[in-house]
Amino acid sequence: MADSANFSIIGKRMAMTDARAKVTGLGKYADDLAVAGMLYGRFLHSPHAHARIVSVDTWRAEALRGVKAVVTGKDAPNPYGILPIGHDECVFALDKARYIGDNIAAVAATSAEIAEEALDLIRVEYEPLPAWFEPEKSMQAADHWIHETKPHNIEKEYHHVFGDPEKGFSQAAFVAEQRYYAGEVNHAAMEPHATLAIWEPEGKLVVYSSTQVPFYLHRTVAEVCEMPMSHIRIIKPLIGSGFGGKSEVIPIEVAACVLAKKAKLPVKMLYTREEVFYAHRGRPITIVDLKMGITREGKISAVQARVVQDGGAYCGYGPVTVLYSGALLGAIYDISNVRYDGYRVLTNKPACGAMRGHGTVNVRFAFEAMLDELAHQAGLDPAEVRRRNLLKAPCITANGLRVTSYGLPECIERVVERSGWREKRGKLPFGKGIGIACSHYVSGAANPIIRSNMPHTTVNIKIDRDAGVTVYTGASEIGQGSDTVQVQIVAEVLGVKTGRINLVAADTELTPIDLGSYSSRVTFMAGNACLEAAKNMRAQILAAVAKEFACPADDLDARDETIFRKSDPQKRVTFDEAVVMAINFHGALFAMGTYAPPEQARGGKFKGAGVGPSPSYSYSAQVAEVTVDPETGHVRVDRIVAAHDCGRALNPLTVEGQIEGSVYMGFGQAVQEEMVWENGRLMNPSLLEYRTPTTIENPEIECIIVESHDPEGPFGAKEAGEGSLAATIPAIANAIYDAVGVRINTLPLTPDRILAALREEQKKAGGNGAGANGGRR
């Protein structure tokens, strides 16, 4: 294998291996699939936010010609949930509907029209109950709890103290205390969820589904359908992205299976966009009461946060989200004294879940905005304040997170240089502003969701006599380029062209288990498993060639489709010849690689310590430049310079795509995306009204890749897909302050909020004109 400076495939810009399938329109997503005799499934949803289900009467629907199956709660009563501590949902509500949109029944019929007609024939008698919509009111509830087992509608609460926060605050020269509020956002992946469940005559299910977690889906379908896992095969087709919205089992996936099993026929289901919003699992409304102190020199002496998350009606990933908010709050910097109180609260709204930057984004907004405020109070450059609080890696943070590589100093330096920060900060005309912020994220969770000692990923490689290399991986390509990066790793190690490699991925019958595409784990974990499998395969091939050449195997190298002697490069065989030698020598060529995070990476021993630890962390720094119109409050983000430490960019093309995509999504949440609720009803359940950014609003993004070469990452790589998102929002908020002198503590940073703050500022200053440079600087 080549040394680090001399790779032939790693570090090169490479088009995705499935790019042709995507640009020709020939690649198949779940809803593109059809089989003969397929039925069309549709859901009946609750119109009530909280209601006892008295009766569900389906006989009229069943009698309709063309209807092949009607299912309700009693057809699938086994509860499930992504967390072992949160099996609180059934695919169809059994006793109560807990949010508007909760699933009551489903119909499979010979056409979509008949299925919809049948839904109208189902009679449901409800007994409405008082409902809880505001998290802080919900956690005071004395009765009518959403789940009887969760008193006061508190799903979970955690209280962590590290160091001595009181002492830390007493050492501070400047202390800020503020409430921040972040509205709810949805992944809005372009592909709505779809599932095709095929009932096989042998009593088996073959399921094609839009999922980031085929192996969790496998387990859940087995539990709900009461079938052995060996009778269920989950296949992940092309996925039209996920961002976390497909990272737990979604009702449509299970409902299609329940219908198919009952009808004994294939059933396809597709969510409308409105149903996607109500299936949700997005980033929750988050209330952050934050207090932070810094010394005169700008060193953070203590941080204290009380976080309340509006989790919706079911557990989902909730406890994990609220734990991430605490675990990654202070760990980006060197902070000894931290207090965290996190509450995950149930409300009568769709369940929230994991969304890109899971749990870290809203607290990072609050933290980085407050740090900016404190820097101004102390009369220090906000970039310099961040530099004065850097970790000294390798190290263990106050809350037990092991940091192995730390490119944050370089990220800050590079964005400061590229953006012209020193020339611009505080010197731009009124209405123009520049802001800086940082963020970090895990490269996969060190502890699996379901505790076990199994590897998190296993990869198998097979080579046949034709010298084609087949890689069997459970990892789920969802658009991020994970198939491509695995192909690159195997090709680099074996010294072959990428075109020689066939990847078979995410099929529970063919591929070994991988936990899924979430928490930015695939490059690091599946990448390491690929690396190990390929090294094992390479050793077998080199051993056979060494025998042929009568030389030691470590005198051999594999590169550019040949195996050659390092001491005499003219002595060589082609890869095809080497494979024949190896098969003659070993028999069939098969190799396996696995990955499990090392024990030291798995965190502390306190309650809740399992969430946050990762084998490695990515780091980001960003500078945003904005123009604010003081007459309208409108913000235009002109430019974002984003530096991201991804360890090593195995494929710079896709790393840049991930950074830019993260910045874009952060921009959307910062200035325009919000799910607007009224008594549990979503006021904007469409892409027209839930305004994801178009080409018109989206800023110009300049990407800087920082490579810190993580000691445990595959070729030094760590995550690139999520970590950048969280820095974008506070960078924009801080730039708005630089532009017009107001701090907006509520997301999104909409014109009405900016205008109201400007007017308030003018009132305080006794000013009389919007352009009068308010209280700025």
Partner 1 sequence: MNKVLLRLRVNGEDREIAVAPNRVLLDALREDLGLTGSKRGCDDSSCGCCAVLIDGVPMLACVALAASYQECEITTVEGLAAPGELDPVQEGFAECGGAQCGFCTPGFLIATKALLARHPNPTREEIRGALSSNLCRCTGYMQIYESICYAVEKMRAKTPAAAR
Binding positions for partner 1, rule: CB under 8 A = 15-16, 18-29, 31-32, 34, 187-192, 238-241, 243, 270, 272-274, 478-481, 653-654, 656-657, 660-665, 686-688, 692, 694-696, 698, 700-701, 703
Shortest reach from residue 25's CB to partner 1, in Å: 2
Shortest reach from residue 110's CB to partner 1, in Å: 13
Shortest reach from residue 686's CB to partner 1, in Å: 5
Residue among 243 and 575 whose Cβ is closer to partner 1: 243
Residue among 277 and 324 whose Cβ is closer to partner 1: 277
Q: Exposed, middle or buried: residue 293 (CB in 10 Å: 0-12, 13-18, 19+)?
A: buried
Helix axes 725-740, 751-765, angle to 10 degrees: 40
Q: How many residues does the chain have?
A: 777
Shortest reach from residue 629's CB to partner 1, in Å: 19
Shortest reach from residue 69's CB to partner 1, in Å: 21
Give 103's strand partners: 45
Residue among 511 and 662 whose Cβ is closer to partner 1: 662
Shortest reach from residue 616's CB to partner 1, in Å: 23
Largest Cα–Cα separation, the chain: 90
Give 267's strand partners: 39, 197
The C-alpha atoms of residue 178 and residue 104 are separated, in whole angstroms, by 42
Residue among 330 and 721 whose Cβ is closer to partner 1: 721
Residue among 28 and 179 whose Cβ is closer to partner 1: 28
Shortest reach from residue 678's CB to partner 1, in Å: 20
Give 359's strand partners: none
Residue among 375 and 663 whose Cβ is closer to partner 1: 663
Residue among 478 and 563 whose Cβ is closer to partner 1: 478
Shortest reach from residue 41's CB to partner 1, in Å: 15
Residue 309: helix, strand or coil by DSSP? strand
The C-alpha atoms of residue 294 and residue 296 are separated, in whole angstroms, by 7
Residue 167: helix, strand or coil by DSSP? helix
Shortest reach from residue 671's CB to partner 1, in Å: 14
Residue 13: helix, strand or coil by DSSP? coil
Q: Cα 494 from chain centroid?
A: 31
Residue among 117 and 555 whose Cβ is closer to partner 1: 117
Give 174's strand partners: 294
The secondary structure of 462-476, three-state, reads EECCCCCEEEEECCC
Shortest reach from residue 324's CB to partner 1, in Å: 22
What pairing do the DSSP bridges indicate for beta strands 700-706 and 635-645? Answer: parallel
CA distances from 603 to 386, 393, 671 (A): 25, 16, 35
Q: Give the type of residue at 20.
A: R
Residue among 64 and 687 whose Cβ is closer to partner 1: 687
Residue 691: helix, strand or coil by DSSP? coil
Q: From its phi and psi, is residue 30 left (phi > 0), alpha (psi between -120 and 50) or beta?
A: alpha
Q: Cα 38 from chain centroid?
A: 33
Shortest reach from residue 201's CB to partner 1, in Å: 25
- The structure tokens listed for 20 are 């042709």
Cis peptide before 748 (omega within 30 of 0): yes
The C-alpha atoms of residue 418 and residue 696 are separated, in whole angstroms, by 24
Instruction: Give yes or no for a contact between 663 and 426, defined as CB atoms under 8 angstroms apart.
Output: no
Shortest reach from residue 689's CB to partner 1, in Å: 8
Q: What angle do CA 108, 109, 114 make, to 5 degrees?
A: 120
Q: Give the type of residue at 715.
A: F
Residue among 653 and 756 whose Cβ is closer to partner 1: 653
Residue among 391 and 703 whose Cβ is closer to partner 1: 703
Residue among 453 and 695 whose Cβ is closer to partner 1: 695
- The structure tokens listed for 711 are 């000691």
Residue among 326 and 699 whose Cβ is closer to partner 1: 699
CA distances from 284 to 185, 275, 347 (A): 7, 18, 11
Residue among 444 and 481 whose Cβ is closer to partner 1: 481
Shortest reach from residue 483's CB to partner 1, in Å: 12
Shortest reach from residue 636's CB to partner 1, in Å: 13
Instruction: Give yes or no for a contact between 473 and 215, defined as CB atoms under 8 angstroms apart.
Output: no
The C-alpha atoms of residue 615 and residue 89 are separated, in whole angstroms, by 32
Shortest reach from residue 622's CB to partner 1, in Å: 13
Shortest reach from residue 485's CB to partner 1, in Å: 13
The C-alpha atoms of residue 441 and residue 408 are separated, in whole angstroms, by 12
Residue among 105 and 637 whose Cβ is closer to partner 1: 637
Instruction: Give yes or no for a contact between 70 and 106, defined as CB atoms under 8 angstroms apart.
Output: yes
Residue among 139 and 703 whose Cβ is closer to partner 1: 703
The C-alpha atoms of residue 541 and residue 582 are separated, in whole angstroms, by 5
Residue among 532 and 656 whose Cβ is closer to partner 1: 656
Q: Exposed, middle or buried: residue 599 (CB in 10 Å: 0-12, 13-18, 19+)?
A: exposed
Residue among 280 and 376 whose Cβ is closer to partner 1: 280
Shortest reach from residue 484's CB to partner 1, in Å: 11
Q: Which of 16, 41, 506, 455 is nearest to 246 (CA)?
A: 506
The DSSP line for 142-194 is -S--SSTTSGGGEEEEEEEEES-HHHHHHT-SEEEEEEEEE-BB----SSPPE
Residue 163: helix, strand or coil by DSSP? coil
The C-alpha atoms of residue 246 and residue 197 are separated, in whole angstroms, by 17
Shortest reach from residue 117's CB to partner 1, in Å: 13
The C-alpha atoms of residue 277 and residue 64 are separated, in whole angstroms, by 30
CA distances from 747 to 7, 285, 346 (A): 44, 10, 21
What pairing do the DSSP bridges indicate for beta strands 103-109 and 51-57? Answer: unpaired
